[in-house]
Chains A and B, each alone.
Chain A
Amino acid sequence: MTAYGYGKKAKMKETLKKIKAIALKEYRHIMRDKFTLTAGFGLPLFLIIFFGFIIELNYDKIPVFVKDNSRSAQSRAFVQKLFAGDLFKPSYVSGEDPIKYFERNETAVFINIDKDFGKFISYPQNGRRAQIQILLDGSDNSKAGLVLSYIPSIISNAYDGKQMYKIKTRFIYNGELNSKYFIIPGLIVVIIGLISILLSSLTIAKEWERGSMELLLSTGISPAEIILGKILPYMVMSLIATVVVFTAAQIVFAVPFTGSFVFFFVSCCVFITACLGLGIFISVIAKQQQLAMLISMPVGLLPSMLLSGFIFPIENMPLFFRILTAVLPQRWFMEICRGTFLRSAGFADLTIPFFALSGFCVFIVILASKKFKTDIEP
């Protein structure tokens, strides 16, 4: 016969048994559903490799048009020094108005060397120095900014800092300024967040659509028991996906991990629970799989890409958006992920992000339980 009890211990046992039953059922659904399996395991691997390769913030072989009006040995030597590396790909042009090249989008950088460059480069006279003019296409401001910061330092280095500027820059962490080191830990946040939200957003909606929610609710199971039971197997699945993505980051992109594994793992669990809770909240509200999917795609992707600091720095955002990012789990896990990967950070350094993430996690699970309708009519 049924084993219902009335003590606290019996209540807890009852809750755990129900959560276990839901989790086991959900595990069986997952194992028999090709879409979930592919989305859970295949998609993260595909995304990390795909995005890892295409999101490239390093430039090389930027086309540069050079008009050498000096045509001197000094100007040729200057151009040679300037373009010694692989960053730029110079082409000599003559005659035409530089604007025409920009209009035809043939180049983003145009260097105009003054006709007296050869004369003044070694011996400045009466305050006159050798002159070059750099024209940049401001419509591609990331490239323009890069060129603007590179050229003076290259020139400075080329002439031992004597003739032009003397700029010395030193980068700590990611010293090679390899954008992969910056991008890959961020991609882990984007991918795990998206997968967790997407997968869990369908589970409650599926129960409503199928009619099985009627069966569940008629047994007296509580919303919290359903939600926790559903979170568990997806948690395991998302953790496996994290391992896949983490391994890919190490093997394919050789991104170093310098922080605490234990702290990273615990934070992963909290972040995944927060995202699963968010997905389940969407599912509870939407009640239809198609609608849940439509909501979870932008909710899973846009905050990660735009408001988490993944590409655009949070400190440069207007005040409203800076405040908005504070309620996004992706923003806090982004800090934890980059901190543990690149800066050897641990709990002591990332206390605020960790507690903010945990706070969101508790809040969203409670909110989803509260919003869970236990009556089945419209």
Chain B
Amino acid sequence: MTKVLDIQNLTVKFGEFIAVDNITFSVEKGEIFGFLGANGAGKTTTIRALCGLVNISGGKMFIDGKDVSKNTKELKPRIGYMSQKFTLYPDLTIKENIVFSGALYMMSEKETLKRMHEVFEYVNFKENPDEIVKNMSGGSKQIISLAASILHNPEIVFLDEPTAGISPVSRKLFWELISKLSSDGKTIFVTTHYMDEAEYCGRIALMQSGRIIALDNPQNLKAASNASDLEQAFINFLDKK
């Protein structure tokens, strides 16, 4: 397997506050890699650092062997990023938002819309593309955001709590889409609060106070902490610390 992401001793500080504290891990091509942890554990900051959106204080990050800090502009088109917050434009229609996102990745309107329909069809999303986004449910907005982040066929997709606020049915479809992307060779880096979702991940890193306290596949994590499910495993690891 090829290492797509290689993170060595990554540290991110904001003033005195250490958001990410000397973490080291790597992610293989086509893997679904999960980040689990409470709010403030450093999951989002790590993703943002990998997307070149925050200045790092120490360590190295490589995507496909290229230093992220030195090749940000070149690497950005190769990644897809879906933020925890809804970052599209509420006063634009679904189609306008998607076409805009595609244009920033140099895609034509035609190919953008084709890709949008593929994604929407896959997750059984039935909203009218000419509808203004403002009036939509949180779940619909998440699906539009996901579509916008994978339009340009990125090699690595960073998803920061992608399923927050969407219905259980949509969640299941969402994860099926993520699994499909992975089987197509895309590398998925995902953070979540839902322990049942974490089971879909090939490997999981448990994070606390900016540090990785455990990293393995779900079965091994459960076994190592004598837990029957991931939630208990997470609690047991926290207790050990």
Show the binding face of A for B, using Cβ within 8 Å.
Answer: 1-4, 14, 17-18, 20-21, 24-25, 28-29, 32-33, 210-212, 214-222, 374-378
Which listed residue, B73, B85, B101, touches A214 by the CB 8 Å rule? Answer: B85
> Nearest chain-A residue to B73 (Cβ)?
A220
A219 to B81, CA, bound (A): 8
Q: Closest 6 CB pairs between A and B?
A: A220-B76, A21-B103, A215-B87, A218-B81, A211-B85, A219-B104
Measured in the bound complex, the distance between the Cα atoms of B12 and A195 in whole Å is 41
CA of A21 to CA of B109, assembled, Å: 11
Q: Are B73 and A377 in contact (CB under 8 A)?
A: no
Contact: A24 with B87, CB < 8 Å? no
Contacts of B111 in A (CB 8 A): 1
Complexed CA–CA distance, A211 and B83 (Å) = 9
Whether the pair B55, A375 counts as a contact (CB closer than 8 A) is yes
Tell me if B105 is interfacial: C-beta within 8 Å of chain A.
yes
Q: Which residues of B contact A (CB under 8 A)?
A: 12, 14, 19, 45, 48, 51-55, 72-73, 76-77, 79, 81, 83, 85-92, 96, 100-101, 103-108, 111, 148, 152-153
* Chain B residues, CB < 8 A from A219: 76-77, 101, 104-105
A28-B96, A218-B76, A376-B54 known; A33+B91 contact, CB < 8 A: yes
Besides A25-B96, A377-B14, 4 other A-B contacts (C-beta < 8 A): A1-B152, A21-B100, A25-B100, A377-B54
Whether A21 pairs with B85 at a CB distance below 8 angstroms is no
Residues of B within 8 A of A376 (CB): 48, 53-54
Q: How far is the CA of A4 from the CA of B103 in the complex (A)?
A: 11
Is the pair B103, A218 in contact by a Cβ cutoff of 8 Å?
A: no
Nearest Cβ distance between residue A95 and chain B, in whole angstroms? 72
Min CB distance A183 to B, Å, is 38
Residues of chain B lying within 8 A (CB to CB) of residue A2: 77, 105-107, 152-153
**Least CB distance, A377 to chain B, in whole angstroms:** 4
Which one of A14, A20, A220, A222 has the highest number of Cβ atoms from chain B below 10 Å of its Cβ? A220
Q: Check if A25 sits within 8 Å of B92, measured CB to CB.
A: yes
Beta-carbon contact of A211 and B86 below 8 Å: yes
- Residues from chain A with a CB closer than 8 A to the CB of B152 are 1-2
Residues of A within 8 A of B105 (CB): 2, 219
Shortest CB-to-CB span from B139 to chain A, Å, is 18
B53 close to A217 (CB less than 8 A): yes
Q: Which residues of A contact B45 (CB under 8 A)?
A: 377
User: How close is A217's CB to chain B, nearest CB, in angstroms?
Assistant: 6
A33 to B111, CA, bound (A): 29
The reply to whether B89 and A212 contact each other, CB–CB distance below 8 Å, is yes
Contacts of B106 in A (CB 8 A): 2-4, 14, 17
Contact B104 A216 (CB under 8 A): yes
The distance in angstroms between the C-alpha atoms of A18 and B102, with both chains bound, is 10
List chain A residues, Cβ under 8 A from B73.
220, 222
Chain A nearest CB from B30 CB (Å) reads 19
CA distance A377 to B73 in the complex (A): 18
Contact of A210 with B53 at beta-carbon distance under 8 Å, contacts A2-B77, A377-B14 already known: no
A212, B48: Cβ atoms under 8 Å?
no
Closest B residue, CB atoms, query A32:
B91
Q: Which residues of B contact A375 (CB under 8 A)?
A: 53-55
**Considering only CB atoms, which chain B residue lies closest to A213 in the complex?**
B87
* CA A347 to CA B132, docked complex, whole Å: 48
Contact at B14–A378, with CB atoms within 8 Å?
yes
What residues on A are CB-neighbors of B87 within 8 Å?
Answer: 210-212, 214-215
With A211-B85, A214-B53, A376-B53 as given contacts, are A21 and B104 in contact (CB-CB < 8 Å)?
A: yes
Interface centre among A212, A215, A217, A377 (most CB of B within 10 A): A215
Instruction: Give the shortest distance, in Å, between A195 (CB) and chain B (any CB).
Output: 21
Minimum C-beta distance from B129 to chain A (A): 15
Which A residues are in CB contact (< 8 Å) with B83? 211, 214-215, 218
Asked if B48 and A377 sit within 8 Å, CB to CB, the answer is yes
On chain B, the residues within 8 Å of A17 by CB distance are 103, 106
Which partner residue on chain A sits nearest B91 by CB separation?
A: A32
Distance from A148 Cβ to chain B, minimum over Cβ atoms (Å): 59
With most chain A CB atoms within 10 A of its CB, the pick from B14, B106, B107, B148 is B106
Mind listing 27 A-B residue pairs with CB under 8 Å? A2-B77, A2-B105, A2-B107, A21-B100, A21-B104, A24-B100, A29-B92, A210-B87, A210-B90, A211-B85, A212-B88, A215-B148, A218-B52, A218-B53, A218-B81, A218-B83, A219-B101, A220-B73, A220-B76, A220-B77, A374-B53, A375-B53, A375-B54, A375-B55, A376-B48, A377-B53, A378-B14
User: Given the complex of chains A and B, what is the CA–CA distance between A338 and B48 in angstroms?
Assistant: 52
CB distance from B20 to the nearest CB of A (A): 11
**Chain A neighbourhood of B148, CB < 8 A:** 215
Shortest Cβ distance from A378 into chain B, in angstroms?
6
Which listed residue (A3, A24, A215) contacts B101, Cβ 8 A? A215
Give A84 Cβ to nearest chain B Cβ, in Å: 63
Q: Which residues of B contact A20 (CB under 8 A)?
A: 103
Evaluate whether A29 and B55 lie within 8 angstroms (CB atoms) in the complex, with A18-B104, A215-B101, A219-B77 already known. Answer: no
Question: Is A3 a contact partner of B107 (Cβ separation < 8 A)?
Answer: yes
